[in-house]
């Protein structure tokens, strides 16, 4: 997953932000990052903290984030195994960069839902797109 698509690159100047969406835009990464923003967490803690995530997807997500240098994975040689995840310094700056988006969302989700409802009402009305 997280395909590093070679095409579509030099199109929008400075809009390489799409590339970060390839990393954190998936279904679970942001949850993991947000949780780890609160400090080091064990695998099972993350699993419990991210409602609805499967074991497999948690592993896949964490592997991807580790690969990208956003989280670290520390395995302790004890039985049963103990593995701890934490944000790297870069991961922490990423969380900071995402924060405005979180704030924006909190302030505008209601507006979006309203726009949707209005749009859907129009779409369901008998005459639509409604000429003239």
User: 17 is written with which tokens?
Assistant: 């932000």
Considering CB distances under 5 to 8 angstroms, the limit depending on partner class, which of DNA, a second copy, none binds residue 54? DNA
Nearest to 23 by CA among 63, 74, 72, 73: 63
Q: How far is the CB of 29 from DNA (least distance, A)?
A: 9
> Do residues 53 and 26 make contact, with C-beta atoms less than 8 angstroms apart?
no
- Taking the least distance from each CB to DNA, the nearer of 24 and 94 is 24
Q: How far is the CB of 96 from a second copy (least distance, A)?
A: 8
Nearest to 62 by CA among 51, 52, 73, 54: 73
Give yes or no for residue 59 binding DNA (CB under 7 A): yes
- Taking the least distance from each CB to DNA, the nearer of 67 and 103 is 67
DSSP-H helix ranges across the chain: 17-24, 29-36, 43-49, 55-67, 89-124
Residues 1 to 40 in contact with DNA, rule: CB under 7 A: 1-3, 26-28
Question: Which residues make up the interface to a second copy (CB under 8 A)?
Answer: 7-8, 10-12, 14-21, 23-27, 30-31, 34-35, 49-52, 66-70, 77, 90, 93-94, 96-106, 108-109, 111-112, 114-116, 119-120, 132
Residues 77 to 96 in contact with DNA, rule: CB under 7 A: 80-84
User: In angstroms, rounded to a whole number, what is the distance separating the alpha carbons of residues 122 and 87?
Assistant: 45
């Amino acid at each position: 997953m997280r395909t590093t698509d070679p095409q579509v690159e030099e199109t929008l100047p400075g809009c390489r932000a799409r590339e970060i969406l390839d990393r954190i835009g998936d279904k679970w990464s942001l949850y993991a990052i947000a949780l780890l923003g609160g400090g080091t967490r064990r695998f099972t803690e993350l699993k419990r903290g991210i409602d609805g995530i499967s074991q497999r997807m948690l592993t896949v997500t964490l592997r991807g984030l580790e690969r990208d240098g956003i989280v670290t994975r520390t395995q302790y040689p004890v039985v049963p195994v103990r593995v701890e995840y934490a944000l790297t310094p870069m991961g922490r700056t990423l969380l900071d960069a995402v924060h405005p988006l979180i704030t924006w969302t909190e302030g505008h989700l209601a507006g979006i839902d309203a726009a949707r409802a209005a749009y859907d009402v129009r779409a369901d009305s008998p005459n639509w797109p409604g000429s003239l």
